[in-house]
C-alpha cells in the first residue's frame, strides 16, 4: 500500500446507496466509494471524522476515491473490510500461524465442492475462512448482525470436515483496541452450526490489525470465546 497516494478528507455522510458517501476533500464535498456491504453508521458515527482515502483505479468509476481508514480513539482504523483477507494472506506463512503445519502451496479463492475458500493450503488440505469484524469495544461480537451467507457457509464447512478437509476460521478485528472476540449467542442458527464445526475439528483463530505507515498489518493474537 505504501506506493499508493493516500489522501485525507473529512467524512460528511453516507448516501442511500450503501456503497457511496460524501467526503470533504480539499474543501469540496466529493462522492466517494465505501468498500463495505453494510452501512458503517451501524457501527460508529462517522460524521465530521477524519478519514484516509485511496484513489479509485477504474477510469469508468463515478467516484474518484475509496474510503480506506477512519481516525478514531487517537489512531486510524481500517474500514476496508475486504483488505483483511490480503493481510492474512501475506502473513499466513509467518510463525503466528505455525500450528497450521506446512504452508508451502497456498491458493487464493480456491473452490472445493461448491465452497469458495478465502485461502486453501494444499500441503495439509486446509480451508481458511477469513471474517472481518468492525467493533469499537474491547470485546467484539461476531457475527454482529444476522447473516444467512455465514450460516450457509458453516453448513458447507461441516460437509467438508466430514470429507476429511481441515478448516481454520480466522476472525480479524480491524480495530487494534479489541482484546477478545465472543460468539454472538443471539444469532442462534449460526451459533449451533459453529459448535458443530468445532466438534468436527475446525480451528478458530482471532487476530487484530493496526495501521503502520498507512498499511494494515497484524497487531495481536486475540482470544476467541465460544460457550460450548
Residue 8: its pLDDT value, please? 94
pLDDT confidence of residue 120:
98
**106 burial class (0-12, 13-18, 19+ CB within 10 angstroms)?**
middle
Q: Output the pLDDT for position 224.
A: 95
| pTM, entire model | 0.89
The angle subtended at Cα 190 by Cα 172 and Cα 175, nearest 5°, is 20
- The three grid cell numbers given for residue 118, joined into one nine-digit string: 478465502
Given a contact cutoff of 8 angstroms between Cβ atoms, the answer to whether 34 and 69 are in contact is no
Beta-bridge partner residues of 210: 217
Confirm if 221 and 96 have CB atoms less than 8 A apart.
yes
Beta bridge mates, 77: 70
Which CATH number applies to 7-77: 3.30.360.10, 2.40.50.140, 2.40.50.580, 2.60.40.1930? 2.40.50.580
Q: Quick one: average pLDDT of 60-72?
A: 91
Residue 106 pLDDT exceeds 80: yes
Residue 127's closest CA among 96, 97, 106?
Answer: 106
pLDDT of residue 4: 59
Q: Give 76-100 pLDDT, tens digit per residue.
A: 999 887 788 999 999 999 999 999 9
Q: Rounded CA gap, 74 and 80, in Å?
A: 19
Where are the domains positioned within the chain? 7-77, 83-225
- Secondary structure (H, E, C), 98-142: HHHCCCCCEEECCEECCEECCEEEHHHCEEEEEEEECCCCCEEEE
Residues 143 and 40: their CA atoms lie apart, in Å, by 15
Q: Retrieve residue 36's grid coordinates.
A: 463495505
135-151: pLDDT as tens digits: 989 999 999 888 898 99
Span between the terminal Cα atoms of the chain, in Å:
40
Distance CA 167, CA 156 (A): 11
pLDDT over 90 percentage in the chain = 72
7-77 and 83-225 in the same fold = no
Q: What is the β-pairing status of strands 65-72 and 50-55?
A: antiparallel
Q: What is the pLDDT of residues 158-184, one digit of tens each?
A: 999 999 999 999 999 999 999 999 999
Predicted local distance difference test score (pLDDT) of residue 103: 96
Query: Residue 143 is placed in which grid cell?
Result: 457475527
Phi then psi for 70, rounded to 5 degrees?
Answer: -120, 135
Distance CA 13, CA 47 (A): 6
Kindly compute the dihedral angle of the four CA atoms of residues 127, 204, 191, 89, in this order, to the nearest 10 degrees. Answer: -50
Q: What is the pLDDT of residue 1?
A: 44
Fold that domain 83-225 belongs to in CATH: Trna Endonuclease; Chain: A, domain 1 (3.40.1350)
Percentage of residues in the chain with pLDDT exceeding 70? 97
The pLDDT value given to residue 24: 96
Amino acid at each position: 500500500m505504501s506506493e499508493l497516494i493516500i489522501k485525507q478528507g473529512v467524512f460528511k455522510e453516507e448516501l442511500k446507496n450503501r456503497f457511496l458517501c460524501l467526503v470533504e476533500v480539499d474543501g469540496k464535498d466529493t462522492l466517494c466509494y465505501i468498500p463495505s456491504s453494510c452501512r458503517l453508521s451501524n457501527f460508529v458515527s462517522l460524521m465530521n471524522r477524519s478519514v484516509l482515502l485511496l484513489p479509485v483505479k477504474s477510469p469508468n468509476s463515478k467516484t474518484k476515491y475509496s474510503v480506506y481508514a477512519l481516525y478514531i480513539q487517537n489512531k486510524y482504523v481500517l474500514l476496508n473490510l475486504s483488505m483483511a483477507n490480503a493481510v492474512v494472506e501475506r502473513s499466513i506463512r509467518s510463525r503466528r500461524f505455525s500450528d497450521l503445519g506446512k504452508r508451502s502451496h497456498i491458493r487464493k479463492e480456491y473452490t472445493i465442492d461448491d465452497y469458495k475458500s478465502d485461502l486453501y493450503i494444499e500441503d495439509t488440505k486446509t480451508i481458511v475462512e477469513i471474517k472481518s469484524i468492525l467493533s469499537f469495544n474491547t470485546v467484539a461480537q461476531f457475527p454482529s448482525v444476522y447473516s444467512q451467507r455465514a450460516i450457509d457457509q458453516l453448513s458447507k464447512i461441516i460437509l467438508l470436515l466430514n470429507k476429511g478437509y481441515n478448516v481454520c476460521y480466522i476472525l480479524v478485528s480491524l480495530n487494534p483496541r479489541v482484546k477478545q472476540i465472543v460468539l454472538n449467542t443471539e444469532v442462534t442458527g449460526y451459533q449451533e452450526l459453529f459448535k458443530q464445526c468445532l466438534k468436527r475439528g475446525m480451528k478458530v483463530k482471532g487476530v487484530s490489525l493496526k495501521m503502520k505507515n498507512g498499511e494494515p498489518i497484524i497487531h495481536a493474537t486475540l482470544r476467541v470465546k465460544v460457550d460450548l
